[in-house]
Amino acid sequence: MNTKKWVIASLVIFVVDQALSFLFHWVIMSGAYEATASLWRPMEEMNRMMWMMWVSGLVWAFLFVYIFAKGYEGKGIMEGVRFGLLVGVFFSLPMSLGTYASMPITGTIAIGWFIYGVIDITILGILAALLYKPAAAVGAKAA
């Protein structure tokens, strides 16, 4: 495993994921969240706990790239698309449907979370494919 590429790819993926998450949750879904405000913590509470979301997002990014690196096949961007789609559905389907089944969120929120999750994680898979190369692949290109 190329540790330097793993760390760099993980940090880039964390930053991109945070930016996409902000765009989705604070811009696209803000109206849906406002309409269901009684379900969520007050903003002051969420702001105090934001560090938990950042830490979990950072750990997630490192694990995401680690799993990608362990299955790396060197097939380029399509490997990232495939990985992102698989992880996106694997992660987003049970999260969105499970939350819909256990909390009174709207179908719009559940569907939005699923679609966003698949798109977001597919983009992150593409980034992983573009940014991560094992040490042997990096050395082979230099030769």
Residues 6+ apart with CB under 8 A from 126: 77, 80, 81, 84
Flag whether pLDDT at 5 surpasses 80: yes
pLDDT at 133: 80
Contact 143, 21 (CB under 8 A): no
pLDDT at 142: 47
Select from 3, 134, 8 the least CA-distant residue to 79.
134
Residue with the larger pLDDT of the pair 135 and 3: 3
Flag whether pLDDT at 125 surpasses 70: yes
Domains of the chain: total:
1
Report how far residue 84's alpha carbon sits from residue 126's, in angstroms, rounded to the nearest whole number.
7
Range of the domain at 98: 3-142
pLDDT at 1: 86
- State if pTM tops 0.85: yes
Residue 134: CB atoms within 10 Å: 15
Across 4-21, average pLDDT: 98
Residue 32: CB atoms within 10 Å: 15
